[in-house]
A and B are shown apart, each in its own frame.
Chain A
Amino acid sequence: MATGPDVSDKITPQLASPGNGAWATASRRVAMALITVCLTTAASYMFAIVVQADGFDWLDVVRITLMAVASFWLAWGGCIALFGILFPPEDHRGMPLRAQGATAILLPIYNEATGPVFARLEAIMQSVDRLPTAGRFDFFVLSDTTKPDVAEREYQAWQRLLARRQAGGHLFYRRREQNIGRKAGNIADFLETSGGAYDYMLVLDADSLMDGATIQEMVRRMEADPRLGLLQSLPQIIGLNTLFGRLLQFATGLYGPYFARGLAAVQGGEGSFWGHNALIRTRAFAASCGMAPLTGKPPFGGHILSHDTVEAALLARDGWKVRLDPDLTGSFEEAPANIVDYAKRDRRWCQGNLQHSRILAAPRFRFWSRISIVQGIFAYLASPIWLLFLLASLAAPLVAPPPVYFDGHSPFPVFPHPETTTALALLFGLVALLILPKLLLVARALLGGNASEFGGPGRLALSFLLEVLLTSILAPIHMMFHCRSVFQVLTGADSGWPAAERDDGSLPFQAAFSATWWMSIAGGAATAFSHYYVPELFYWLLPITLPLVFAPFLVWMTASVWLGRLTRRFGLFAVPTDTHPVDVACDMEAALQQQAAA
Chain B
Amino acid sequence: MTSHVSLQRDAYPVSLADTGLFDGIRSEIGRPDLSDGDLQRLLCGHEVAFLTASPEARLALVRSLPVPPPRLGLEMPAHDLNPPLAARFAPVATFWQRLLQPVAPQLKRLPVSFKDH
Residues of A in contact with B (beta carbons under 8 Å apart): 1-3, 135, 140, 159, 162-163, 166-170, 172-178, 188-189, 191-197, 282-283, 286-292, 294-295, 304, 310, 314, 358-359, 362-363
Which A residues touch B64, using CB under 8 A? 162-163, 166-168
Give Cα A135 to B31, complex, Å: 12
A167 to B29, CA, bound (A): 8
User: Chain A residues with Cβ under 8 A from B1's Cβ?
Assistant: 176-178
Contacts of A314 in B (CB 8 A): 79
Within 8 A of A (CB), among B40-67: 60, 62-67
Given contacts A1-B31, A173-B5, A196-B73, contact A292 B81 (CB under 8 A): yes
Q: Which residue of A lies closest to B28 (CB)?
A: A169
For the complex, is B18 an interface residue (Cβ under 8 Å from A)?
A: no
Bound state CA distance, A2 and B31, in angstroms? 8
Instruction: Determine if B111 is an interface residue (Cβ-Cβ < 8 Å).
Output: no
Chain B residues positioned under 8 Å from A163 (CB to CB):
64
B72 touches A194 (CB 8 A): yes
Q: Decide yes or no: A195 and B88 within 8 Å by CB, A176-B2, A304-B81, A310-B81 being known contacts.
A: no
Q: Which residues of A contact B71 (CB under 8 A)?
A: 193-194
Can you name the residue of chain B whose Cβ is closest to the Cβ of A163? Answer: B64
Task: Give the nearest-CB partner of B64 in chain A.
Answer: A163
Q: Are A168 and B74 in contact (CB under 8 A)?
A: no
Question: Which of A175, A177, A194 has most chain B Cβ within 10 Å?
Answer: A194
In this complex, which of A140, A292, A295, A359 has the most chain B Cβ atoms within 10 angstroms of its Cβ? A292
B33 within 8 A of A: yes
A1 adjacent to B3 (CB under 8 Å): no
Any A CB within 8 A of the CB of B102: no
CA distance A273 to B88 in the complex (A): 27
Report yes or no: A286 in contact with B76, Cβ–Cβ below 8 A: yes
CB-CB under 8 A from A167, the residues of chain B are 63-64
Complex Cα distance, B71 from A196, in Å, reads: 8
Complex CA–CA separation, A356 to B43 (angstroms): 49
User: B2, B30, B63, B79: which contacts A291 (Cβ < 8 A)?
Assistant: B79
Whether B24 is near chain A, meaning CB under 8 Å from some CB there, is no
The 3 tightest CB contacts between A and B, nearest first, are A169-B29, A196-B72, A166-B63
Contact status of A191 and B74, CB under 8 A, knowing A162-B64, A168-B66:
yes
A-B contact pairs, 27 of them (CB 8 A): A3-B30, A162-B66, A166-B63, A168-B65, A169-B31, A169-B65, A169-B67, A172-B68, A172-B69, A174-B69, A188-B76, A193-B69, A194-B72, A194-B73, A195-B73, A196-B73, A196-B74, A287-B74, A287-B77, A291-B81, A292-B80, A294-B82, A295-B82, A310-B81, A359-B82, A363-B83, A363-B88
